[in-house]
């Protein structure tokens, strides 16, 4: 089989890339060894967060400056998420962008919010610092201990269960998409005409796929997939925990984050509150290998710790029950920044992974599609290029 672009990874990023590529007239094969949306794309809480996160700004100003370079992508993401329902024309996709509040307790944290705001202002992300009186008015459900907050009106959440499927449906409608789920890539090598992939089903049947270009959108599996092509990608699987409460009547209108503690919280339209914030779970191991195809184990202290922060910040959560907790695996790069672009040592091999893959997933897809079809990008993605790993990959490849 021959195609234009072979996309490895059927999560949000892969689906978005397929959508934008097929719309530009490219033939695309979207491949996943399992079902679509099975990895982090389907397991995350759907946060659309554009403010600089606590974990990015807590390690000193130099790193914070570097992390702020993501903001142009965030601005692009705001536009894309705002317009995606109309763009896809498939009806309501449960996308809520009514505003996000990053809260602070105590003077030191308020000062951190101010530093963050200055950095965001430099990069033109629209956020607004608000004091306790305004917080009382805007978000009366927040604890009295909240001394200040940064409001970003575009923040909110998408619905991980709906968006990937909708993007795939759109790509399918173009008649340029070939979908291969339940199929693993067992070989990926350069050929005279581009790239040659070998696909294998669990039953053992094989198929050869020739493509002009390959996109590695394999999330937590990006490094393994890259290894098939003889490349190093420093993407590491990290296990996180998420919690959902029983449904409550609507009261939490914002997506909540915290500048000094690990918390992200939102209320779904069904009423459940989703509570997370980067609390770890335990990856299963066999020897030295982390097992990314098995659900990570819980850490009880991650659940209790996360909920303790949540209840502190939104006291009326004490009325509710924890309904379920689940673990998921995300791919985290060595420098926490996304990897976006073409691998210089492997022309035609593109990568779109890492960073905030859900929030920026549409943007990644659009940027890679643009890069493949026009050889340039309107957004400057030099900072995120796989070229920064040339010290690794100059010794790799064939």
Partner 1 sequence: MPADVVRFTFDGRPVEARPGECLAAALLRAGHAAFRTTPDGRGKRGPVCGMGLCFDCRVAVTRPGTGHEMMLRACVTRAEDGMALRSVPFAENEPDA
Partner 2 sequence: MPELRYDLAIVGGGPGGMAAAATAADHGLRVAVLDEQEIPGGQIYRRPFAEGLFPADRFGRDYQEAGPALRAIAMREGVTWIGGASVFGLQQRGEAAFAVLWNTVDRVSKLLAERVLVAAGCFDMAVPFPGWTLPGVMGAGGMQALLKGQGVLPGGRIVLAGSHPLLLVIAAQLVAFDQPPLAVILTQSPTRAGIGMRAPVTALRNIGVFREGLIACHTLRRVGVPIHFGHVVTEARGGDRLESIGFRPVAGGALRDITCDTLGVGYGFTASTELIRQVGAPCRWSRAGGGWIAEHDEDMRTAVPGVFVAGEVAGIGGAPTARAEGALAALSIARDAGRRVDAGRVRRARGERARRRRFAALLERLADPGDDVLRTLRDSDTALCRCENVSVGDFRATLAANPTIRSADAAKLLTRTGMGPCQGRFCHRAVMEEIGALRAIPAESAGAFHARMPVRPVPLAAMAAFHPADDTD
Residue 247 binding partner 1, by CB under 8 A: yes
- Dist. CA 102–CA 113, nearest whole Å: 8
How many chain residues interact with partner 1 (CB under 8 A)? 20
Closest to partner 1 by CB, 62 or 319 = 319
**b/e map of 255-275 (b: 16 or more CB within 10 Å)?**
bbbbbbbbbbbbbbeeebbbb
Closest to partner 2 by CB, 137 or 318 = 318
Q: What does 255-296 look like in DSSP terms, one character per residue?
A: EEEESSS--EEEE-TTSPEEEEEEEE-B--EETTEE-TTSPP
Min dist CB 139 to partner 1, Å, is 10
Closest to partner 2 by CB, 136 or 161 = 161
Closest to partner 2 by CB, 245 or 353 = 245
By a kind-dependent CB cut-off of 5 to 8 A, residue 324 interacts, out of partner 1, partner 2, none, with partner 2
Q: What is the DSSP letter of 387?
A: G
Outline where 60-215 has alpha helix (H).
61-68, 71-88, 107-122, 132-138, 160-173
Residue 133 binding partner 1, by CB under 8 A: no
By a kind-dependent CB cut-off of 5 to 8 A, residue 301 interacts, out of partner 2, partner 1, none, with partner 2
What is the CA 191 to chain-centroid distance, rounded? 32
Q: List the one residue from 96, 142, 166, 366 that touches partner 1 (CB under 8 A).
A: 142
Q: What is the DSSP letter of 297?
A: B
On whether the CB atoms of residues 160 and 81 are closer than 8 A, the answer is no
Min dist CB 116 to partner 2, Å, is 27
Q: List the one residue from 99, 230, 234, 271 that touches partner 1 (CB under 8 A).
A: 271
By a kind-dependent CB cut-off of 5 to 8 A, residue 311 interacts, out of partner 2, partner 1, none, with partner 2
Query: Where is 150: in which H helix or E strand?
Result: strand 148-152
Closest to partner 2 by CB, 189 or 247 = 247
Binding residues for partner 2 (CB under 8 A): 35, 42, 161, 165, 181, 244-247, 270, 272, 298-301, 303-304, 307-308, 310-312, 317-318, 320-326
Min dist CB 269 to partner 2, Å, is 11
Helix (H, G, I), strand (E, B) or coil at 353: strand
Q: List the one residue from 124, 289, 321, 398 that touches partner 1 (CB under 8 A).
A: 321
Compute, in degrees rounded to 10, the torsion defined by CA atoms 26, 363, 296, 269. -110
Q: List the one residue from 89, 91, 140, 391 that touches partner 1 (CB under 8 A).
A: 140
Minimal CA–CA distance to 184: which of 225, 150, 222?
A: 225
**b/e map of 105-126 (b: 16 or more CB within 10 Å)?**
beeebbebbeebbebbeeeebe
**58 Cβ partners below 8 Å, 6+ apart?**
none
Residue 284 binding partner 1, by CB under 8 A: no
By a kind-dependent CB cut-off of 5 to 8 A, residue 141 interacts, out of partner 2, partner 1, none, with partner 1
Query: Of 7-15, 66-74, 319-327, 343-351, which part binds partner 1 (CB under 8 A)?
Result: 319-327
Min dist CB 57 to partner 2, Å, is 26
- Dist. CA 214–CA 219, nearest whole Å: 15
- Dist. CA 126–CA 51, nearest whole Å: 9
Burial of 285 (0-12, 13-18, 19+ CB in 10 A): exposed
Query: Of 70-78, 114-122, 313-321, 355-363, which part binds partner 1 (CB under 8 A)?
Result: 313-321
Minimal CA–CA distance to 347: which of 193, 128, 155?
A: 193
On whether the CB atoms of residues 353 and 13 are closer than 8 A, the answer is yes
Min dist CB 253 to partner 2, Å, is 20
Min dist CB 304 to partner 2, Å, is 5
By a kind-dependent CB cut-off of 5 to 8 A, residue 70 interacts, out of partner 1, partner 2, none, with none
By a kind-dependent CB cut-off of 5 to 8 A, residue 142 interacts, out of partner 1, partner 2, none, with partner 1
Closest to partner 2 by CB, 17 or 327 = 327
- Dist. CA 17–CA 15, nearest whole Å: 5
Min dist CB 172 to partner 2, Å, is 13
On whether the CB atoms of residues 216 and 8 are closer than 8 A, the answer is yes
Min dist CB 321 to partner 1, Å, is 7
Contact positions vs partner 1 (CB under 8 A): 136, 140-144, 246-249, 251, 270-271, 314-316, 318-321
């Amino acid at each position: 089989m021959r195609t234009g672009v072979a996309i490895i990874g059927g999560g949000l990023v892969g689906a978005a890339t397929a959508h934008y590529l097929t719309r530009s007239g490219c033939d695309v094969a979207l491949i996943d060894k399992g079902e679509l949306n099975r990895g982090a794309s389907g397991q995350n809480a759907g946060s659309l967060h554009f403010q600089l996160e606590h974990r990015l700004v807590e390690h000193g100003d130099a790193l914070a400056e570097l992390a702020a370079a993501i903001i142009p992508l965030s601005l692009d993401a705001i536009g894309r998420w705002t317009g995606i329902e109309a763009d896809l024309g498939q009806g309501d996709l449960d996308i809520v962008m009514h505003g996000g509040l990053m809260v602070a307790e105590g003077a030191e944290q308020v000062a951190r919010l101010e530093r963050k705001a200055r950095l965001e202002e430099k990069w033109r992300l629209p956020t607004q610092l608000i004091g306790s009186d305004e917080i009382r008015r805007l978000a009366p459900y927040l604890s009295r201990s909240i001394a200040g907050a940064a409001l970003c009106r575009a923040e909110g959440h998408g619905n991980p269960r709906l968006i990937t499927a909708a993007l795939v449906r759109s790509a399918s409608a173009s008649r340029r998409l070939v979908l291969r789920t339940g199929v693993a890539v067992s070989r990926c090598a350069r050929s005279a005409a581009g790239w040659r992939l070998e696909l294998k089903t669990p039953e053992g049947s094989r198929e050869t796929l020739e493509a002009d270009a390959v996109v590695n959108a394999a999330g937590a599996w990006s490094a393994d997939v890259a290894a098939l092509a003889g490349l190093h990608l420093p993407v590491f699987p990290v296990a996180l925990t998420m919690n959902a409460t029983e449904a409550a009547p609507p009261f939490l209108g914002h997506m909540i984050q915290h500048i000094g503690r690990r918390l992200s919280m939102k209320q779904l339209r069904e009423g459940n509150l989703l509570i997370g914030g980067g609390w770890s779970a335990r990856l299963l191991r066999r020897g030295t290998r982390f097992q990314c195809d098995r659900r990570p184990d819980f850490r009880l202290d991650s659940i209790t710790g996360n909920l303790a922060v949540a209840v502190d910040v939104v006291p009326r959560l004490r009325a509710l029950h924890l309904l379920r907790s689940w673990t998921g695996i995300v791919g985290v790069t060595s420098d926490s920044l996304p990897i976006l672009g073409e691998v210089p040592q492997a022309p035609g091999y593109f990568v779109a992974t890492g960073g905030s893959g859900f929030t920026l997933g549409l943007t990644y897809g659009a940027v890679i599609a643009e890069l493949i079809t026009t050889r340039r990008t309107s957004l400057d993605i030099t900072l995120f290029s796989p070229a920064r790993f040339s010290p690794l990959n100059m010794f790799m490849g064939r």
